[in-house]
Amino acid sequence: MTRGTHRTQTEAAYEDLARHIVRAEIQPGAPIEEQALMERLGVGRTPLREALQRLIHQGLVQHLPNRGYIVTTATATDLHRVFEIREQLEILAASLAAARGAGNSLDAYAAFMTEARKGISRHGDDLDWNIAMDQTFHDILARASGNSYLQADITRYYNLSARVLYLSGQRMALVSEEIDNYAAMYDALRDRDVNSAANIMRAHMSFDPTTRTS
C-alpha cells in the first residue's frame, strides 16, 4: 500500500464513521465492530485504527481496555458545555477572518451563498441538508481565520454539538431563517469589518441549530 493510499483509506474511514456517529446512526454506547467496518469500507486495520484515534481526540469514540472501541455518550448537559466553548471559538474565527482578509475564502463563501439560496426551496426543513450548510458556513470562516489549530477545534466542537442535536430531535434554526446572517457575514468579511463580523457571529450563535438549548 502506498502512503497516499493509506492516507486516503484513513480519511475515508474517519469521514464515514464521523458521519454515522454525528447523525446518531450509531448510538451512544454502541461497540465499534472493527472487522465489519474493515470489510464494509474496504480498508485495513491500521487506517481504521488511525481514524478511530482521530475520533477519540474529537470526543466521539472511547477506547475501553478489554472491550475495544465504543461510541461515547452525549447528554443535554454536554450540549450546554460544548456551546460555552463553541461560541467563543466561532466569534474568534469570524473576527480573525475579517481582520486578516478572507482572501480566496470569499470565493468559497460566494459559492456557499449561491447554494444556500438555491437549496432553501428544494430542501426546506431537511435536517441533514440544513446542518451540512451551516457546517460549511462555519468551516469557511474557520479556514479564513488562518489558524489551523482554531479550525481543528471548531470542527471538533461542531461535530459534538451536531450529534447532540440529532440525538435530541430538537428543532433547529433553518438556513432560510439564517440566510440574512450569512449574507451580512459576507459583507463584513469583504469590508474587513472585525466588529461587525464578531457581532454577526454572536447573533448567529444565539440561534445556531447546533447550540440551541430551548
pLDDT, one tens digit per residue, over 112-131 is: 999 999 999 999 889 899 99
Mean pLDDT calculated for residue range 33-42: 87
> Which of the two residues, 44 and 79, has the higher pLDDT score?
44
Q: Which residue, among 95, 45, 118, has the nearest Cα to 202 in the 3D structure? A: 95
- What is the average pLDDT across 14-28? 90
Q: Identical fold at 3-71 and 76-205?
A: no
pLDDT over 70 percentage in the chain? 91
Helices (DSSP H) in the chain: which residue ranges? 3-22, 34-41, 45-57, 76-100, 105-123, 127-144, 148-168, 175-191, 194-205
pTM value is 0.81
Q: Quote the distance between the C-alpha of residue 64 and its chain's center.
A: 26
- Computed over every residue of the chain, the mean pLDDT equals 87
Question: How do residues 153-176 score in pLDDT, each as one tens digit?
Answer: 999 999 988 888 888 777 778 999
CATH topology of domain 3-71: Arc Repressor Mutant, subunit A (1.10.10)
pLDDT, one tens digit per residue, over 49-83 is: 999 999 999 889 999 988 889 999 877 677 678 88
Q: Which CATH class is domain 76-205?
A: mainly alpha
Whole-angstrom distance, CA of residue 144 vs CA of residue 206:
22
Domain boundaries, the chain: 3-71, 76-205
Q: At what angle do helices 105-123 and 127-144 cross, to 10 degrees?
A: 170
Average pLDDT for 2-31: 82
Give me the pLDDT at residue 7, please: 66
Confidence of residue 207 (pLDDT cuts 50, 70, 90): low
Which residues are bridge partners to 63 per DSSP?
Answer: 69
Query: Which pLDDT score is estimated for 183?
Result: 96
For residue 6, what pLDDT is reported?
A: 63
CA distance 162 to 152: 16
